[in-house]
Amino acid sequence: MSEGASTMPSAPSDDSEPDLARRRMLIAATAAVGAVGVALAATPFVESLEPNATARALGAPVAIDISKLKPRQMVIASWRRRPIFVLRRTEAELKALPTLNGQLKDPLSRQDQQPANLPGWNPIQRSIIPEYLVVVGICTHLGCMPKLHAQIGDPLLGASWPGGYYCPCHGSRYDLAGRVMDGSPAPLNLPVPPHYYKDANTIVTGELSNGTEQSWEPNTW
């Protein structure tokens, strides 16, 4: 996966009807990258200790160790052959999120991009525990993997950049809650998968704490 470009490429002509076959191919390619680890300096790929690889591929819940995750760091796990981003956000980043609402397509998470019954769900922060964002790292346009650019005013993205995720394929932009910004070819927020906190250091992705939502699917991923 290449680095994000300094200029935003134009969106393809078939935005209104994404090519599903192409999306699936891109997702498969992304999963292949994830299988060998993601070469990002600040984003170590976290392999789950349970269950075995075959069960994981079929969608079994995955435990993610967050004990070493510092503020502004992200780890990437794998669930249903898709990358799962776990980002630890700062207090300042959380406070800034509501100020971006007027620049977003779905600021209050009204689309079905997360389970309807996540306990403690905050639709602006898009999280259960505020500091941890858990999202599927697949762009809702055509399935590339967005890159984290947490720095406000990142030189690559311009002085008005508020910090977030940038998709290098066609320039979709998401904030630090995975909410898609106006003007992006992506139609929807990044999906938030079913998950819960097994303990202070462990997030389980792929189900809720009562074992439900194992077959959950977002509107688009």
Strand 164-166 to 82-88 pairing: unpaired
Shortest reach from residue 104's CB to ligand FES, in Å: 16
Minimal distance in Å, beta carbon 188 to ligand FES? 11
DSSP 40-107: -TT-PBPPPSSS-HHHHHHT--EEEE-TTPPTT-EEEEEETTEEEEEEEPPHHHHHHGGGGGGGBSST
Of the pair 85, 196, the CB lying nearest ligand FES is at 85
Measured from the CB atom, the residue of 62 and 188 that comes closer to ligand FES is 188
Q: Of the two residues 20 and 92, which places its CB atom closer to ligand FES in the complex?
A: 20
Least distance CB 142 / ligand FES (angstroms): 4
- CA nearest 66: which of 134, 153, 166? 134
Q: How far is the CB of 13 from ligand FES (least distance, A)?
A: 13
Query: What would you measure as the largest C-alpha separation in the chain, in angstroms?
Result: 46
CB of 186 to ligand FES, least distance (A): 5
Cα distance between residue 43 and residue 60, in whole Å:
23
Q: In whole angstroms, how far apart are CA 44 and each of 11, 29, 52, 113, 175?
A: 30, 19, 20, 25, 21
Q: Which is nearer to ligand FES, 23 or 80 (CB)?
A: 23
Between residues 69 and 136, which has the closer beta carbon with respect to ligand FES?
136
Q: Which residues make up the interface to ligand FES (CB under 6 A)?
A: 139, 141-144, 167, 169-172, 185-186
